[in-house]
Amino acid sequence: MTTVPFFDLSAAQASLTADLESAAREVIASGWFILGRQLESFEQDFAAYCGVDHVIGVASGLDALILVLRAWKQQGRLQAGDGVVVAANTFIATIIAIQEAGLKPILVEPDPATCNLSVRGLTSALSQKPKAVVPVHLHGQLCPMPGIMEICRRENILVLEDSAQAHGAILEGKRAGSFGHAAGFSFYPTKNLGALGDCGAIATNDAEFTKLLRSLRNYGSERKYINNHQGLNSRLDEIQAAFLKAKLPHLDTDNAARRSVATRYMNGIRNADIRLPTVSAGAESHVWHLFVVHCADRDALARHLSDHGIQTAIHYPVAPHRQECFQSLLGGLSLPVTETLHDECLSLPMSPVLTEEQVEHVITAVNAYNASATLHQVANG
Ligand SMILES: *Cc1c(COP(=O)(O)O)cnc(C)c1O
């Protein structure tokens, strides 16, 4: 039987083994491991790729978001307790970052079709006088950024794009991370651009802000042992920067390969019990970090696919406001659109290295899923 892993990381980087080994050897030979020329060089390459003036490497995607919000407070552009709008169905890190920075998350329902923050969702939160918004480009699809930016310019709201799932996505000629006042990226190994460990980055066009962020990621010091701010230790290691520099030139090819898998799924899957993803703008506005379908009995669909050798995943099984850690903060909220999305979502295998045979196998198995047959079996014990 054809088996299909959800995401085979070794296969995904097999063709780059020699490049990664030589990148590692170069760093080892240099004897310089933190804040050196590998990082500077990757920061320049990634800034040019994203179409922004500055990139600041940090230790994780979560830290990228926390550091931007803390830096805005440091600059007096945000005050403790200010409201920050975010779609309620995001990955937990986005909400943790807002909390960790001493700000107040304002959760809004996403557009159920795209799973992203909509102009309408943002507008509905304006009565709460938010000072910032974090549009999350979930699953790899850009939020409607032109409309969001128009509102935010008018209302004087700061915009931090959570671009952790959308490296390279393009809308109206601009890439993810180049729309807002700042953006956070993650290079967690399975992201569209992934390192061989944890790290992340901030993108921005603001030179003063960049200076502050470079200081904050390094204990708040610009000159060694002279601390102007209370910062963090959140640096992107030289060895990871060297790996990322080797992988960046392949990002567009990888995203195109993901897009071709997605197109085959979109054209091949025909099942009234399964809702396919919605692409709201041009094909390039989605880089398919995940291919998420929705199904009333998501668990039955997952079992059916598993019986056919197909591994799936759930992003994410529990909505942030339903998580134990946020019960006192957010537990009182009722967000039916979000809750349904979390109950019904299932991520199909997606990576740049799925074979034609594997994709066909997934399509055939998904099309063979019969919700009423499953219910019948359950009814008959
Ligand atoms: C992965 C991810 C993060 C956090 O990135 P880490 O590098 O794991 O800290 C933040 N937001 C979203 C939407 C993510 O997918």
Q: Domain limits of the chain?
A: 10-108+116-249, 250-379
**Mind spelling out the 3-state secondary structure of the chain?**
CCCECCCCHHHHHHHHHHHHHHHHHHHHHHCCCECCHHHHHHHHHHHHHHCCCEEEEECCHHHHHHHHHHHHHHCCCCCCCCEEEEECCCCHHHHHHHHHCCCEEEEECCCCCCCCCCHHHHHHHHHHCCCEECCECHHHECCCHHHHHHHHHHHCCEEEEECCCCCCCEECCEECCCCCCEEEEECCCCCCCCCCCCCEEEEECCHHHHHHHHHHCECCEEECCEECCCCCECCCEHHHHHHHHHHHHHHHHHHHHHHHHHHHHHHHCCCCCEECCCCCCCHHHECCCCEEEEECCHHHHHHHHHHCCECCECCCCCCHHHCHHHHHHHCCCCCHHHHHHHHHEEEECCCCCCCHHHHHHHHHHHHHCCHHHHHHHHHCC
Tens digit of each residue's pLDDT (9 = 90 or more) over 244-277: 999 999 999 999 999 999 999 999 999 999 999 9
Residue 90 CA to ligand 1 centre (angstroms): 10
162 lines ligand 1 (CB under 6 A): yes
- Just give the CATH number of 250-379: 3.90.1150.10
Pocket test for ligand 1, best of 137, 139, 165 (most atoms within 8 A of CB): 165
Whether 250-379 and 10-108+116-249 are alike in CATH topology: the answer is: no
Atom of ligand 1 nearest to the CA of 186: 7
Say whether pTM exceeds 0.85.
Answer: yes
Pocket test for ligand 1, best of 60, 89, 142, 186 (most atoms within 8 A of CB): 186
94 lines ligand 1 (CB under 6 A): yes
pLDDT of residue 228: 87
Tell the residue nearest (CA) to atom 10 of ligand 1: 93
97 lines ligand 1 (CB under 6 A): no
Tens digit of each residue's pLDDT (9 = 90 or more) over 3-29: 999 999 999 999 999 999 999 999 999
Q: Residue 217: pLDDT band by 50, 70, 90 thresholds?
A: very high
Residue 254 CA to ligand 1 centre (angstroms): 19
**Domain 10-108+116-249 bears CATH identifier 3.40.640.10:** yes
